[in-house]
Homo-oligomer: A and B are copies of this chain.
Amino acid sequence: MEKGIKVTVWNEYRHEKSEEAVKKVYPEGIHAVIASHLNKQGGITAKTATLDQLEHGLTQEVLAGTDVLTWWGHMAHDEVSDEVVNRVQERVLEGMGLLVLHSGHVSKIFKRLMGTTCNLRWRDVGEKERLWNVEPGHPVTQGIGDYFELPHEEMYGERFDIPTPDKLVFISWFEGGEVFRSGCCYERGHGRIFYFRPGHEIYPIYYEANVMKVITNAVRWAAPRIKQKIECLNPQPIEKLNR
């Protein structure tokens, strides 16, 4: 049996097979790079799952054995079945952590958990991004200084149509004149959710030390603190006054 935090790294895994430019950066897929990094960290065991696997690789059994799920998707959000989305949502509400990365902002599962469109503005000209750490005391930002930079990134700009985050930990500055709420912490049910903006299929973002440090921190922060189902998730009527 695996010890520590069990992570499932989910990836749409389409760009990497269909586009040369992406294949060059992520020959085994974005998921392979993320999982490989996490497996080198103490106390974390990461496996992977992808869209084109049976049930997108997210069977009841896989999810039952997952403490934290990370999500990367872009061009095929609509191909994720509602049944799997329901299943993931249920597990998050029961306590599984969820990290939503970059273009996952309009994935079915993120929109489902947020209740909003999760739309934003964007521009892809490879401009500089600087992520300011506005919560230096938060577990997700440990080891990150005042800010860190990504030399070439796709821009995401406000207004980002999300509920006010429970805690906003990063705000991005973009060379082109925009800002963005780039690190957003939520709690839904008994689960913790972290949206993290950086990441792109062509810019080698998931090889950046600071990006991977934040993802590792976020995995630890989002790992479930309770494992059992909470009664009110399967409510029963209460027959008697019990004062």
A residues engaging B (CB < 8 A)?
Answer: 89, 93, 95, 112-117, 119-125, 127-128, 130, 132-139, 142, 146, 155, 157-161, 163-164, 166-168, 171-179, 181, 186-191, 224-226, 230-243
Contacts and interface: CB of A to CB of B under 8 A. Distances in A.
Contacts of A133: 158-159
Max chain B CB contacts within 10 Å: which of A112, A157, A167? Answer: A157
Contact of A176 (B125, B137, B243): B243
Contacts of A235: 119-122
Quick one: copies of this chain in the complex? 4
Given A134-B160, A136-B190, A142-B225, 4 more contacts: A123-B239, A133-B158, A155-B238, A166-B166
Given A164-B166, A226-B136, A238-B122, A146 B231 contact: yes
Nearest to A234: B119
Contacts of A122: 235, 237-238
Contact of A123 (B125, B168, B187, B238): B238
Contacts of A242: 176-177
A231 B160 CA distance: 11
A67 B31 CA distance: 39
A14 B93 CA distance: 31
B179 A168 contact: no
A161 B93 contact: yes
A152 to B, nearest CB: 13
